[in-house]
Structure 1
Amino acid sequence: MAADLFWPGDDRAGDHFTSESFLWAMVDVESDWLGRPLTVPKDLEWLANESESGGNPVIALVGLLREQDEGVHRGLTSQDVVDSALMRMSEAAVVSVRRDLHAAVTRLAALAATHRDTPMVARTLTQHAVPTTFGFRVAAWLTAVLDADDTLADLDFPDQIGGAAGTRAAMVELGRELPPGVPRWHTTRAPVTRLGDALVGCTDACARIANDVVTMSRPEIGELAEGSGGGSSTMPNKANPVLSVLVRRAAMTTPQLAATLHLAAAQQVDDRADGGWHAEWATLRDLVRRTLVAASQTADLLAGLRVDPDRMAATLAGAGDAVLAEQRTMAAAAGHDPAPSYLGDAIAYVDAVVARAHSTLEESP
């Protein structure tokens, strides 16, 4: 895909959901239906220009493919090819997203275990609250990433084999042996909206980490720092938390993309939609690529993350006796003196989340 100055880091998404990969996926669908491999046409620009007249790229593509075999596309409709191609591309993209999430899980599990007892002050509504540990904070990050990965793992990527109106009339007329259980979701867009929601869950989880890194790397806090901060065009002394900023950028935009997918689903009408379907393609492309970029950037952010336990301890000490006010109240209510530690079951939580992470990594393909 051409370099994208509008979305720094877009190259991390590689060939996923490019026009070229879309073309390859559509030809793959047609080849599977025909029962033999077809050569992918090379004139992508011509095909893109011709797509406007039919409202989608399949009509022009079929014209080219029938130069190789007249039986191409018989019984299918354009939506069968586009939807099936999008699902195949999405499945490949999700594999890549999960690979980066698992890299993040590996690093987070190590950080949580290392810092399970590293004291720091918890913050609620931006203010000091009670004592906690950095391992507990990391375990919260890790939980979000594991939950996002579980949602991705539960996705399915069905082909669309329905024919002109979902009835498969042409296929039956042709005497095709139809594969059992293949869904027809022409106007029931749950496969797309579920995918969109799962991808947004990933950027939510990544932003959960980035938000804390941005805050905790402020000079007046200084508890965390990115491994190699980004520079400034005018201030050579700055080391900006660029990866965190870019991850936050993705999380600010992906929910609106998923909302567009839901709006398109709600606009389905009759037996094939008049615009709702067409709105999905570029929306899904942007959502997939931005999630890929964010997951990759998060993995790199965590790989280089620098932790300052001494600064954390100093901040906790500087918070003074106020952070134990709740403990004194609870101890008085319970009728005993305050315990030496006020961490509740934080350590047990860290251990449980780390164990869950190891189980996820062991089970991953």
Structure 2
Amino acid sequence: MADLFWPGDDRAGDHFTSESFLGAMVDVEADWLGRPLEVPDHLEWLANEAELGGNPVIALVELLREQDPRVHRGLTSQDVVDSALMRMAAAAVASLRHDLRSVVDRLVGLAERHRSTPMVARTLTQHAVPTTFGFRVAAWLTAVLDADDDVARLDFPEQLGGAAGTRAALTELGRPAPGGVPRWHTTRAPITRIGDALAGCTDACARIANDVLVMSRPEIGELAEGSGGGSSTMPHKANPTLSVLVRRAALTTPQLAATLHLAAAQQVDDRADGGWHAEWATLRDLVRRTLVAVSQTDDLVTGLVVRPDRMAATLAAAGADVLAEQRSMAAAAGHPPAPSYLGDAIEHVDAVVVRARESLSKESR
């Protein structure tokens, strides 16, 4: 959906929209009932009614019981909302991992092409020692692989506890609870784990975007976005817009994940008074912003323009200073400086590429 406040939001598609939330809640009720239910065409009315009970399930059940009076027996509102959130999160994470794997594939190609492309390493913004652009890409790739590993470990448990987690209504109805379905009304690790993994994805994407922002400055010019954005007043500009938007996401998602932790820390009694309610929109924003950022990172890496000539020129202009450490190490070891001062950088690039290819191969089986 279009969102003028968050350019690119449409990349997140139908994930965590009000419509998909309603559909997921109806699916939860239908699965519990054991028969299909039609999704009510009363979204605006439900949204307004939700304020009266503090959540949308109460009004939804009223509508669904027009189709079958047995709807919702044994459940509580939190069972439905939590289970719906988990279903939506599982679908969103599947889309997210598709884009993450695409980013990995693109970075593998970059790392292999530039494993030996010389450039100067920078530490604390200053020239340090020689390195290769492939080594820099290997750092990007490692961050994305680590983020994908965290996302892959997520699970999405549905919720079935009844009014206070005791499942007393199920017992009274003589209905056994499905095996393996936990109750986590006031233990919110399933939510916070998702939040942490998503924030990790935007961390990894920002790792790439930040380097592109710095290295595409005109006075450096070692990288450029394939199709830069324009300016409303300066026709000569080609702004690194994708990198800016990816960085934007990474500046906001950690706070969203922190809100989920704060909500988890505020749980009380057997059902929370506000902590639970704070999660829904927070998780929605976190999911959608992460999906957008990873998709934009995929486009960024796909179109990235690498300028080895500028990298070589910068390294040459740094002169003998970038080899000062080598001279002191060689003197300490009692031998002349070696022709190259790259250590095992290229071997490291190769190792990261192997890890990435193994990850891609495992996921394709």
Instruction: Mark yes or no: TM-score above 0.5.
Output: yes
Match of 1:56 in 2: 55
Query: Deviation at 1:179?
Result: 1.3
Give the paired residue count.
Answer: 364
Residues in 1 aligned to 2:238 and 2:363: alpha-carbon distance in whole angstroms: 36
Residues in 2 aligned to 1:338 and 1:364: alpha-carbon distance in whole angstroms: 45
Which secondary structure does the structure 1 equivalent of 2:80 belong to?
helix
Match of 1:11 in 2: 10
One-letter code of the match for 1:152? V
Residues in 2 aligned to 1:270 and 1:319: alpha-carbon distance in whole angstroms: 63
Residues in 2 aligned to 1:198 and 1:231: alpha-carbon distance in whole angstroms: 33
Query: Deviation at 1:214?
Result: 0.3
Match of 1:274 in 2: 273
Query: Deviation at 1:178?
Result: 1.3
Query: Deviation at 1:57?
Result: 0.2
Match of 1:256 in 2: 255
Residues in 1 aligned to 2:250 and 2:284: alpha-carbon distance in whole angstroms: 16
* Structure 2 unmatched ranges of 5 or more: none
One-letter code of the match for 1:335? G
Identical positions, percent: 83
Match of 1:295 in 2: 294
1:157-176 map, 5 Å: 157-176=156-175
Q: Does 1:231 align with 2:239?
A: no
Q: Does 1:152 align with 2:165?
A: no
Residues in 2 aligned to 1:354 and 1:28: alpha-carbon distance in whole angstroms: 42
Residues in 2 aligned to 1:309 and 1:285: alpha-carbon distance in whole angstroms: 41
Match of 1:182 in 2: 181
Match of 1:39 in 2: 38
Residues in 2 aligned to 1:60 and 1:363: alpha-carbon distance in whole angstroms: 45
Q: Which digits, 9 at most, give the CA deviation of each residue in 1:157-202, with x for residues without a partner?
A: 0000000000000011101121122110000000000000000000
Q: Which digits, 9 at most, give the CA deviation of each residue in 1:332-352, with x for residues without a partner?
A: 111111111101110111001
Residues in 1 aligned to 2:328 and 2:27: alpha-carbon distance in whole angstroms: 67
Match of 2:92 in 1: 93
Query: Deviation at 1:36?
Result: 0.9
One-letter code of the match for 1:262? H
Match of 2:103 in 1: 104
Which secondary structure does the structure 2 equivalent of 1:319 belong to?
helix
Residues in 2 aligned to 1:172 and 1:359: alpha-carbon distance in whole angstroms: 48
Moved segments of 4+, more than 2 Å: none
Match of 1:350 in 2: 349
Match of 1:135 in 2: 134
What is the RMSD computed on CA atoms of the aligned residues?
0.6
Residues in 2 aligned to 1:349 and 1:175: alpha-carbon distance in whole angstroms: 60
One-letter code of the match for 1:105? V
Match of 1:81 in 2: 80
Match of 1:24 in 2: 23
Residues in 2 aligned to 1:181 and 1:96: alpha-carbon distance in whole angstroms: 26
Residues in 2 aligned to 1:348 and 1:36: alpha-carbon distance in whole angstroms: 58
Residues in 2 aligned to 1:308 and 1:230: alpha-carbon distance in whole angstroms: 19
Which secondary structure does the structure 2 equivalent of 1:122 belong to?
strand
One-letter code of the match for 1:258? A
Query: Deviation at 1:215?
Result: 0.2
Which secondary structure does the structure 2 equivalent of 1:204 belong to?
helix
Match of 1:72 in 2: 71
Q: Which digits, 9 at most, give the CA deviation of each residue in 1:279-320, with x for residues without a partner?
A: 000000000000000000000000100000011001000000
Match of 1:220 in 2: 219
Q: Which digits, 9 at most, give the CA deviation of each residue in 1:208-233, with x for residues without a partner?
A: 00000000000000000000000000
State which drifts further: 223-232 or 170-179.
170-179
Instruction: State TM-score, norm by structure 1.
Output: 0.99
Which secondary structure does the structure 2 equivalent of 1:296 belong to?
helix
Q: Does 1:245 align with 2:244?
A: yes
Which secondary structure does the structure 2 equivalent of 1:222 belong to?
coil
Match of 1:311 in 2: 310
Residues in 1 aligned to 2:72 and 2:361: alpha-carbon distance in whole angstroms: 42
